[in-house]
Structure 1
Amino acid sequence: MAISCTIYFVMEIFADVFSVQSIPLLEAAFTRRTLILVLSFVWLRKCEQPVSGLATVKNLLISRALTGYISLMCFIYCIQRLPLSQAIVLSFTTPIMASVVARIILHEKYKIADVGGLVCSFFGVLFIYRQMLTTQDKNGGKNTSVRGSSYIFAVLAGLLSSITGGISYCLTKAGSKASDQPLLTVFSFGLLASPASGVCLFAVEEFVFPNLYSFSVMLVLGVLAFFAEVFLARGLQLEKTGKVANVIYMEAALSQLWGIGSSRIALSLGRIIGCVLILISVSCTMYIGPDKDTA
């Protein structure tokens, strides 16, 4: 699971260093999900696994794919309508939602330390983005013109993305444990998300034909996203959802440390406190946190 967060962090660095032409979000999502679909299909065939999945877990795989796709589309809508900092903070409520849903549906038991770790990590995210949240409107940040009912609708879309994302994590865990093959959950998601994203892309956005350089970068990012999805599914298969959810916050801390180290982000006390809170919380989760879920 830590490897998954690290890969997403590397993807952010790669996308930042090797800047590409402006590509619509739906087009980027379509390209990435198509690569995930193709790579997971090839991997399953190489391992001689049934591509259709086991009959006993088909409903789980379909539900996982559907909730994952709804979460993806709601997040894309949210990030297009809200200031970037607000959309990111809303997306980081997903680990909390995943833990709550796992407690209700999967009957996972959490200690006070587990809950405290999640809360500590989320407060770390708030510390990191606190200055951006309070000053973006004054500085004319992205999408700050969205107000009234449109703003509320975008926030609700972000919350829906968080809730369905949390449910998707739990369904990924359940499907991986039932089939003993986490890659099936990755394949099922790509099988739905790829064609659906393609339909939405050509229906609501203008397709931008990428040049060779941009397309190469998109391919690399797609491959990295595939391995991140596989490691995340494997982590959910082996560990409690709350433990995996907390480790996800490490991506926020690593991205901030990279930005500060590369002088892209100004050093501030709030960012340092946020990163320290997340790193301490994740370290405690990994080394003295809950035991492995062997149920």
Structure 2
Amino acid sequence: MNGAWWMVLAAACFGLMGVFVKLAAATLGTVELVFWRTAFAVLLLGGNALLRRQSFATPLLVRHLQRGVLGYISLLCYFYGISHLPLSTAVTLNYTSPLFLALLSMILLRERLSATALLAIALGFAGVALLLKPTLHGLGMLPVLVGLGSGFLAGWSYLHVRELGQAGEAEWRTVFYFALISTLGGLLLMLGQEWHPLTAANLPWVLGLGVTAMIAQLAMTRAYKLGRKLLVANLSYLTVVFSALFGVLLWQHVMTAGELAAMGLIILSGILAGRR
């Protein structure tokens, strides 16, 4: 299997992860869902590192903390969006992260953006406005802003991921510390609050969430390792397509022409932003 097909698998699994989040949200809160999602990764990556006798020590703890906090809040916003918005809408809002990454690179890092990147940002936010016009009318402001916030914070966290990579940090440690910080953050947020029990009704959804997220991460990593980076990055937007299909099949969310056009604009803008 070449890199392109690994990314198709990753996109399908990320779409399925959203399905499991939406199903589990009927009985579990957003903080709990993120906790189980990241605790699964901590156990998997930490156990694998112990078996391989890999070192957890790193001189980049501050950068890991910055990335971890931003990534954790982004994940909270994303899961909240999935719980309260149509699946395809929540996923599309999260996939505005390349636009925010380009914008933040210009603001925070003083990078000069090409005309293509500026066009991408304009197209992307036009797509967001088109997508959210009917959504705001039907569901209110808060879920929409939180969903869009997931894309903004994800883009910001990717700045720190890039810095960690440029500093020579191992990829598994970057993912592990993000999962660890998120899991500890979940425990802190849940102090004094009621935990909802895992039951026969919601346990399959929690396990499905953990398994699909793990497969998606592994498949995505393999895709970037084996495939052409630009092609693989573009194929990642298939997650939006899979999410739309799952929304139609499971929740009968029939998409309008305007929603389809908006998603197309956001996908196109993300592809252009990735080429900056």
2:118 aligned with 1:133: no
Instruction: Give the match for residue 214 of structure 1.
Output: 202
- Is 2-11 or 182-191 further displaced after alignment? 2-11
- Asked if the contact 1:108/1:240 (under 8 Å) is kept, the reply is no
Which of 67, 71, 74 is equivalent to 1:64?
67
**% identical equivalent positions:** 22
Relative distance call for 1:60 and 1:158 in structure 2 (3 A) is: same
Structure 1 residue 197, shift from structure 2 partner? 0.4
2: CA distance, partners of 1:15 / 1:77: 7
Instruction: Give the match for residue 100 of structure 2.
Output: 97
Instruction: Give the match for residue 51 of structure 1.
Output: 56
- Asked if the contact 2:68/2:182 (under 8 Å) is kept, the reply is yes
Relative distance call for 1:116 and 1:263 in structure 2 (3 A) is: same
Amino acid at match of 2:210: G
- Asked if the contact 2:103/2:121 (under 8 Å) is kept, the reply is no
Relative distance call for 1:155 and 1:133 in structure 2 (3 A) is: closer
Instruction: Give the match for residue 192 of structure 1.
Output: 181
- Asked if the contact 1:92/1:122 (under 8 Å) is kept, the reply is no
Instruction: Give the match for residue 25 of structure 1.
Output: 30
Relative distance call for 1:178 and 1:223 in structure 2 (3 A) is: farther
- Is 26-35 or 220-229 further displaced after alignment? 220-229
Relative distance call for 1:130 and 1:250 in structure 2 (3 A) is: farther
Structure 1 residue 63, shift from structure 2 partner? 1.9
Count of residue pairs brought into register by the alignment:
265
2:261 aligned with 1:290: no
- Is 230-239 or 260-269 further displaced after alignment? 230-239
1: CA distance, partners of 2:16 / 2:79: 24
1: CA distance, partners of 2:147 / 2:266: 22
2: CA distance, partners of 1:279 / 1:222: 26
Relative distance call for 1:5 and 1:269 in structure 2 (3 A) is: same
Amino acid at match of 1:290: R
2:211 aligned with 1:223: yes
> 1:228-270 CA deviation, whole Å, 9 max, x = no partner?
45666788999999x95x7765533432244346671124211
Structure 1 residue 225, shift from structure 2 partner? 2.0
1: CA distance, partners of 2:144 / 2:247: 27
2: CA distance, partners of 1:116 / 1:178: 31
2:274 aligned with 1:273: no
Which of 171, 174, 193 is equivalent to 1:182?
171
Consecutive unaligned residues of structure 2, counting only runs of 5 or more, are 1-5
- Asked if the contact 2:99/2:120 (under 8 Å) is kept, the reply is no
Structure 1 residue 194, shift from structure 2 partner? 0.7
Which of 252, 263, 266 is equivalent to 1:264?
252
- Asked if the contact 1:183/1:230 (under 8 Å) is kept, the reply is no
- Asked if the contact 1:176/1:234 (under 8 Å) is kept, the reply is no
- Asked if the contact 1:128/1:271 (under 8 Å) is kept, the reply is yes
The structure whose RCO (Cα within 8 Å, separation 6+) is larger is 2
Which of 168, 190, 199 is equivalent to 1:201?
190
2: CA distance, partners of 1:105 / 1:234: 31
Structure 1 residue 198, shift from structure 2 partner? 1.6
Instruction: Give the match for residue 114 of structure 2.
Output: 111
Consecutive unaligned residues of structure 1, counting only runs of 5 or more, are none
CA RMSD of aligned residues (A): 4.3
> 1:30-78 CA deviation, whole Å, 9 max, x = no partner?
111111111121233344431223x2x33322221122234345x2797
2: CA distance, partners of 1:174 / 1:250: 27
TM-score under structure 1 length normalisation? 0.68
Instruction: Give the match for residue 171 of structure 1.
Output: 160
Instruction: Give the match for residue 84 of structure 1.
Output: 85
Structure 1 residue 109, shift from structure 2 partner? 5.3
- Asked if the contact 1:21/1:210 (under 8 Å) is kept, the reply is no
Structure 1 residue 171, shift from structure 2 partner? 0.7
Instruction: Give the match for residue 8 of structure 1.
Output: 14
- Asked if the contact 1:98/1:166 (under 8 Å) is kept, the reply is yes
Task: Give 3-state SS (helix, strand or coil) of 1:203's partner.
Answer: coil
